Amino acid sequence: MNPRRATRAGWNTVAVVLFVLMVFPVFWMISTAFKPDDQIVSADPSWFSLHPTIAHFRAAIDTPFFWTDVKNSLIIVCTTVVISIGLAFLAAIALAKYRFSGRKLFIVLMIGIQMLPQAGLIIPLYVVLARYHQVNALTGVILTYMTFALPFSVWTLRGFIINIPRELEEAAMVDGSTRLGAFVKILLPLAAPGLVATSVFAFITSWNEYIFARVLLNDQGKQTLTVWLSYFLGSSRHTDWGALMAGSTLTAIPVLVFFLLVQRKIAFGLTAGAVKA
């Protein structure tokens, strides 16, 4: 018991050190957001301010359209993630568990599409969306994000599903459910960790996506938070670093919240991963 606890304490220490190293830049961002302006540019870096200020956060929140842009980002990203993960999960089941002609081609397409440099697609995509009046519209951005989230999600979810042993599906099918029903009933909880990881990735990628949102959305009332953030950097004059860091901290919060909500599901599999012969 004791040596076990000692090794565990040892690993815990390693984890804390790693945490400090990884998070340092983020810590720097957050601490800068609370520093008064003169401390931000001072020659001797200070770890954190002894006179923290929330002026930058207030300045960031008071910028016009902040809350509107929060709403837009949430609508776009949540819709994208839910639809993409849902459709991708079904497609992944098909690719992992069924045999049909064209299967290999479809799998290769899923990875092939991701190999295209996105920079090359911006203008043609804009032209297509313009034709269908999807420019300057949230739906246009949702459709765009979905086309990038889907191949990745299908490709990754297939990998998680492949791992799940066939015996479990066959056990469910004896119950009389349809093949698809068995898959969904059995695979959903077992693939939960994979679904979580994939949906967090889809969430973050869509949340932080910039160039397509910038090009497609014109009205400030329709833009996303990443575009809102870019206004802090785009002027030819002085950049308000404090407000930029405060704004960045604010944009990171929903992601953290989303993750905290779903992170328990990752560990779920640890106790449920038993294969009963």
Residues 32-61 that bind another protein (CB under 8 A): 37-38, 41-45
CA 44 to chain centroid, in Å, comes to 36
User: Is 172 a residue that touches another protein (CB under 8 A)?
Assistant: no
- Nearest-approach distance from CB 54 to another protein, in angstroms: 18
The site map against another protein for 144-163 (x = CB under 8 A) is x-xx--xxx-xxx-xxxxxx
Query: Among residues 56 and 194, whose Cβ is nearest to another protein?
Result: 194
Taken in order 250, 256, 260, 265, the sign of the CA dihedral is: positive
CA 244 to chain centroid, in Å, comes to 21
Question: Both tokens of residue 262?
Answer: 């779903």
The site map against another protein for 97-116 (x = CB under 8 A) is xxxx--xx-xxx--xxxxxx
User: Is 120 a residue that touches another protein (CB under 8 A)?
Assistant: yes
- Nearest-approach distance from CB 277 to another protein, in angstroms: 11
CB atoms within 10 A of CB 41: 8
- Nearest-approach distance from CB 34 to another protein, in angstroms: 15
Taken in order 124, 84, 199, 97, the sign of the CA dihedral is: negative
Residues between 200 and 259 that touch another protein (CB under 8 A):
200-201, 204, 207-208, 210-211, 214-215, 218-220, 222, 226, 229-231, 233-239, 244-245, 248, 251-252, 255-256, 259
Q: What is the DSSP string of 172-217?
A: HHHTT--HHHHHHHHHHHHTHHHHHHHHHHHHHHHHH--HHHHHH-
Side chain identity, residue 177: S
Give the whole-angstrom CA distance, residue 246 versus residue 232.
11
Give the whole-angstrom CA distance, residue 54 versus residue 56.
5
- Nearest-approach distance from CB 192 to another protein, in angstroms: 9
- Nearest-approach distance from CB 158 to another protein, in angstroms: 7
Query: Among residues 24 and 54, whose Cβ is nearest to another protein?
Result: 24
User: Is 261 a residue that touches another protein (CB under 8 A)?
Assistant: no
User: Is 66 a residue that touches another protein (CB under 8 A)?
Assistant: no
Residues between 76 and 95 that touch another protein (CB under 8 A):
76, 78-79, 82-83, 86-88, 90-91, 93-95
Query: Among residues 54 and 117, whose Cβ is nearest to another protein?
Result: 117
Give the whole-angstrom CA distance, residue 233 versus residue 112.
34
User: Is 70 a residue that touches another protein (CB under 8 A)?
Assistant: no
The site map against another protein for 184-203 (x = CB under 8 A) is ----x-x--xx-xx--xx--
Instruction: Count Cβ atoms within 10 A of the Cβ of residue 34 and give its class: 0-12 exposed, 13-18 middle, 19 or more buried.
Output: buried
